[in-house]
């Protein structure tokens, strides 16, 4: 038996199905958990909304760990230096963590593994954050996948490891506090979320029992709550993808009539693994377009347009509703994420990286793999990307997916008096209709900031100027 083991927590703030924690508890008499607010310059700092969530999640995890007799230390600094100090202070002879997949993070982890292994500390990494490790899924030619459908087929045919149980846990010291504060604007997000492992499990249980049956048809309608909203819990590892996978499979076994709906849900969950596949195999996906030719695209420098988009003041109601939902709650419905990303990168021809950064700061689920991969997908430069000529029209999309305007009315209340017919295009309404609804364009609500038809054509021209080389 080892005496003390250190568990370095990162994106895995849960007791159950936490292989690093389980391994440490299985091996050592004493276990100490450590979370580090890492300051290494190579790492992307977490966004503001994420910091709010993380803060809560660490509190929750600290209490849960204390319940099994494990102290959680929260420190700030370079991971290597903090770990070295913690090892010295605790006399730990083993160090465990669950893997992360970004190139910069892997490089930090590899350096730490080399250093501490050489110093005689048993350093072990574990698989815990994705369904299948990114290097275990490959094409018949032993290459990474670049198209989702065959990736999904292969993933489905792969045995997804079963979740490991919650450790009993031995321990020493008391939990320590930490001085990590999110910005004040992020605090409003608290009204919309329950943070932590138990909340994540409850959300999954409720989703399977009440919602999944309607998921395939309902998931595209932003006014309905027919998706799981598990994304921030997954982001911080309060629940694991494989816990979701196995719980959903078990549910489908008992309710075979819902197996098709569960399969659709799991295929969306597999998109997350596909994003991690890209994060792992590609170079810096938050900055480098996956199709080289997009490096040449003549993006517009348009700070005023960018700001209007960020503030939900574009004059296109569904875009504004989405951007305001994001600002208020730290979340945006997937269909609307696609619309606002298309509007920014195509109608406004603003570099998708600007949008990705805004999302990174505002989303509670801002994820190093899903966020850049999805932005690249919409902008047309990602793997398996939406073709560049697919430019969403915010008016017709609004009419299709928010036909009664409920979503727009919820987030853009100054338009709520408009009849359904004009709720997605107030600029087309006769002046009497606008007057009846108390809307004065340019005063109570912006005029449309661009012409959809002209900007669509400009985007097509800019994109087709890139040629066909990839
Ligand atoms: P559900 O539909 O209930 O799906 C369950 C889980 O499957 C999600 O939590 C997520 O982990 C995964 N998933 C579902 N759809 C996708 C998808 N299209 N791509 C990848 N994984 C998916 N997702 C993030 O988790 N973090 C992000 O930072 C993020 N940024 C995005 C940016 C843009 C421009 C777009 C278009 C999409 C982005 N997504 C991101 C993907 C998707 O919008 C969210 O995962 C989803 O809306 C979360 O809601 P949910 O948990 O209710 O999803």
**Best residue for ligand 1 mutational test, from 374, 376, 381 (most atoms within 8 Å of Cβ):** 374
69 vs 181: which has the higher pLDDT: 69
pLDDT tens-digit series, residues 399-431: 999 999 999 999 999 999 999 999 999 999 999
Q: What is the CA radius of gyration of the chain?
A: 24
Residues with CB under 6 A from ligand 1: 219, 227-231, 234-235, 268-269, 271-272, 275, 334, 337-338, 341, 359, 363, 365-367, 370-371, 374-375, 378
Pairing mode, strands 28-38 and 122-126: unpaired
- What pLDDT score does 469 carry? 44
Q: d(Cα 397, Cα 423) in Å, to the nearest integer?
A: 12
- What pLDDT score does 425 carry? 98
Q: How far, in Å, from the CA of 111 to the mean position of ligand 1?
A: 31
Q: Answer yes or no: are the C-beta atoms of 243 and 266 closer than 8 Å.
A: no
Interval 335-359 mean pLDDT? 97
- The pLDDT of residue 181 is above 70: no
Q: How far, in Å, from the CA of 227 to the mean position of ligand 1?
A: 10
- What pLDDT score does 169 carry? 64
Q: Answer yes or no: are the C-beta atoms of 128 and 158 closer than 8 Å.
A: no
Residue 332's nearest CA partner among 321, 317, 347 is: 321
- The pLDDT of residue 290 is above 70: yes
Active-site amino acid positions: 268, 271, 299, 334, 352, 375
HSE of 360 in the Cβ direction (CA atoms, 13 Å)?
Answer: 18
315 DSSP assignment: S
Interval 236-251 mean pLDDT? 98
Query: Most distant CA pair in the chain: distance in Å?
Result: 81
Query: Going by CA atoms, what residue is nearest to atom 33 of ligand 1?
Result: 374
Binding positions for FAD are 215, 227-231, 265, 365-367
Kindly state the percentage of the chain with pLDDT values over 70: 96
Q: How far, in Å, from the CA of 156 to the mean position of ligand 1?
A: 19
Structure tokens at 235: 């982001």
φ and ψ of 170, to 5 deg: -95, -175
């Amino acid at each position: 038996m080892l005496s003390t083991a250190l568990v370095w927590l990162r994106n895995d703030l849960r007791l159950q199905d936490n292989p690093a924690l389980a391994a440490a508890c299985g091996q050592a008499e004493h276990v100490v958990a450590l979370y580090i607010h890492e300051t290494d310059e190579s790492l992307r700092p977490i966004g503001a909304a994420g910091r709010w969530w993380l803060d809560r999640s660490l509190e929750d995890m600290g209490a849960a760990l204390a319940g099994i007799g494990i102290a959680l230390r929260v420190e700030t600094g370079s991971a290597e230096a903090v770990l070295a100090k913690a090892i010295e202070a605790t006399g730990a002879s083993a160090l465990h963590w669950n893997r992360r997949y970004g190139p910069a993070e892997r490089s930090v982890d590899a350096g730490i593994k080399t250093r501490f292994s050489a110093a005689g500390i048993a350093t072990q990494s574990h698989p815990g954050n994705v369904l299948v490790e990114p290097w275990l899924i490959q094409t018949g030619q032993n290459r990474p996948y670049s198209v989702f459908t065959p990736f999904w087929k292969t993933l489905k045919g792969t045995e997804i490891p079963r979740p490991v149980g919650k450790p009993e846990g031995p321990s020493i010291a008391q939990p320590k506090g930490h001085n990590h504060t999110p910005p004040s604007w992020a605090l409003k997000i608290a009204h919309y979320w329950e943070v932590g492992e138990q909340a994540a499990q409850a959300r999954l249980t409720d989703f399977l029992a009440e919602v999944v049956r309607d998921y395939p048809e309902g998931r595209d309608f932003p006014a309905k709550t027919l998706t799981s909203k598990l994304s921030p819990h997954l982001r911080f590892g309060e629940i694991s993808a494989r816990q979701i996978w196995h719980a959903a499979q078990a549910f489908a076994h008992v309710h075979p009539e819902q197996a098709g709906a569960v399969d659709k849900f799991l295929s969306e969950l597999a998109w997350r693994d596909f994003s991690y596949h890209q994060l792992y195999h590609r170079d810096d996906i938050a900055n480098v377009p996956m199709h080289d030719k997009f490096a040449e695209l003549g993006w517009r420098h348009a700070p005023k347009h960018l700001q209007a988009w960020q503030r939900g003041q574009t004059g296109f109601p569904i875009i504004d509703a989405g951007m305001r939902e994001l600002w208020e709650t730290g979340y945006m419905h997937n269909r609307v994420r696609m619309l606002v990303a298309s509007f920014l990168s195509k109608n406004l021809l603003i570099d998708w990286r600007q949008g990705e950064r805004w999302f990174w700061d505002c989303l509670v689920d801002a994820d190093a793999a899903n966020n850049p991969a999805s932005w690249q997908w919409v902008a047309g430069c990602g793997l398996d990307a939406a073709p560049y000529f697919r430019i969403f029209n915010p008016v017709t999309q609004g009419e299709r997916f928010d036909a009664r305007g409920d979503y727009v009315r919820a987030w853009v209340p100054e338009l709520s008096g408009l009849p359904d017919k004009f709720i997605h295009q107030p600029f087309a309404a006769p002046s009497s209709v606008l007057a009846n609804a108390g809307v004065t364009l340019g005063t109570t609500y912006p005029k449309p900031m661009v012409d959809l038809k002209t900007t669509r054509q400009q985007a097509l021209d800019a994109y087709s100027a890139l040629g066909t080389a990839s």
